[in-house]
Amino acid sequence: MSSGLVVVGAGVVGASVAYHAARAGAAVTLVDAGRPGAGVTGNSFAWIGASGLRTGPAAALRASATDEYRRLGAELPGLPVTWSGSLSWGTADGAPEAGPGQEIVSAATVATLEPALRQPPEWAVWAPGDGAVDPVGVTERLVAGARAHGAVVRPDTPVTAVRRDAAGRVAGVETAAGPVCGATVVLAAGVATAALAAPLGIHVPVDPSPATLFGFRAPAGLVRTVVNNRDFDLRQVAADRLIAAADAPERTLAAVRSTFRGAGNVELLSSRVGVRPMPADGEPIVGPVADVPGLYVAVLHSAVTLAPAVGRLVARELVDGAVEPLLAGCRLDRF
C-alpha cells in the first residue's frame, strides 16, 4: 500500500502526511494547485495548545498537540514554534476551569505574565505549555523534510480528478500538467476535498468556514503570551507586529488599544479572510474510503494544531498498515 502515494494538497496537513510518509519509506508525490502553505494554512492564527475541547473523537489528538510539535521540532531543527504559554479570561460566564496542563492564576500573576495590561483580570487560565507557530514556515519546513526523504513536490499543479483503473481502484490523479500515477491518493485539499471526492460518488461533508485575521503594527513586547479573551485571540508575531483572530477590524483595534498600556499608536495593517474546511460535526475526517480502494481522506479544522499528530498517524496507517486507535472516531463512515 505504501507504493506510489500521491498527496493532494500542500497545506499543513498534506505537507505533514507527505513528510511522515516519506520519512517512513513511501514513494511520495505531493501535488498542490499553488505554493505550500499558500491557502488557508497561511491565514491561521496558529495557536498550539493541548487544552480546549476535552470531549469528542479528536480529544486525545488535541491533548497530544504540544507534545507532537515538540517531537517534530526535534526531527526538523529550526521549526518556527514559539513556546510562549497562553492566558485566557472572560470567555465564559462563571468561574474559570483549569484543564490538564492549565492553572488558574490571580491578577498579580497575570500582571507579571502580561505587564502591559491596563486591568489584569481577577482570574485567568494560564497554560504554560502552549505556543504558536508560523504556519507557512512550518509547512515549508515539512515540505523540505519530505523532499529530503525523497518525496517529489509539484507546486502550481492543480489536480482535476482522481484516476481509477478498470477495477475501480485508485490509480493516481489527473492534473493540469498530465497524470500522476499512484496506488494510493490522500485528499488533503481542505475545502476542495469534497469536490474531488464527489465524482467518485463519495460525499465528504465539509463546508467553507470563513475566519478573519488582522495584522497590526505595535510596540515591541506589548504582548508576551497568546492572549484569549472575549474581544480577540492575540499574539506577537514579530518585534513590531501583532496578529488577532477576531470579527471586526475597528472594534478589535479599539479593544487592543484599550486593553494594553502603550497601545495608543497600534495601527491596523491588514485584514485577511481564510476559508477553513469545517466538517459537518466539527471533528476531523481522516481515514480510508471503503468504497474506493486506495483513496484516503484527511480534512480537518484546527489543521495547524493537529497536523503533526495526524500526519504521523496517517503515515503509520498507509505505510505500515496499522489501524490507529486515535483515529477511530474520525472516519468518514460515521456520517
pLDDT digits (tens, 9 = 90+) for 262-307: 999 999 999 999 889 999 999 999 999 999 999 999 999 889 999 9
Position 101 confidence tier, pLDDT thresholds 50, 70, 90: confident
Q: What is the pLDDT of residue 2?
A: 37
User: Please, are residues 129 and 225 in contact by the beta-carbon 8 Å criterion?
Assistant: no
Residue of 134, 133, 53, 88 lying closest to 300 (CA atoms)? 53
Residue whose grid cell is 465564559 = 92
Q: What is the pLDDT of residue 261?
A: 96
- Grid cell in block for residue 311: 500526519
- Grid cell in block for residue 129: 505549555
pTM above threshold 0.75: yes
What is the Rg, in whole angstroms, of the alpha carbon atoms belonging to the chain? 21
- SS3 for the chain is CCCCEEEECCCHHHHHHHHHHHHCCCCEEEECCCCCCCCHHHHCCCEECCCCCCCCCCHHHHHCHHHHHHHHHHHCCCCCEECCCEEECCCCCCCCCCCCCCEEEEHHHHHHHCCCECCCCCEEEEECCCEEECHHHHHHHHHHHHHHCCCEEECCCCEEEEEECCCCCEEEEEECCEEEECCEEEECCHHHHHHHHHHHCCCCCEEEEEEEEEEEECCCCCCCCEEECCCCEEEEEECCEEEEECCCHHHHHHHHHHHECCCCCCEEEEEEEEEEEEECCCCCEEEECCCCCCEEEEECCCHHHHHHHHHHHHHHHHHHCCCCHHHHHHCHHHC
Q: What percent of the chain has pLDDT over 90?
A: 87
Q: What is the pLDDT of residue 97?
A: 79
Which amino acid appears at position 222 of this protein?
L
Q: What is the pLDDT of residue 53?
A: 56
Q: What is the pLDDT of residue 1?
A: 37
57-100 tens-digit pLDDT: 888 999 999 999 999 999 999 999 999 999 999 877 777 778 88
169-216 tens-digit pLDDT: 999 999 999 999 999 999 999 999 999 999 999 999 999 999 899 999
Q: What is the pLDDT of residue 195?
A: 97
Q: How many Cβ atoms are within 10 Å of 267's Cβ, its own excluded? A: 11
Mean pLDDT of the chain: 94
Q: 25-29, 231-235, 271-275 — which is least confidently predicted?
A: 271-275
Position 51 confidence tier, pLDDT thresholds 50, 70, 90: low
User: Please, are residues 163 and 171 in contact by the beta-carbon 8 Å criterion?
Assistant: yes
- Name every residue whose Cβ is closer than 8 Å to that of residue 20 and which is 6 or more positions away in sequence: 311, 312, 314, 315
Q: What is the pLDDT of residue 90?
A: 87
Residue of 330, 316, 309 lying closest to 12 (CA atoms)? 309
Residue 144 has pLDDT above 70, yes or no: yes
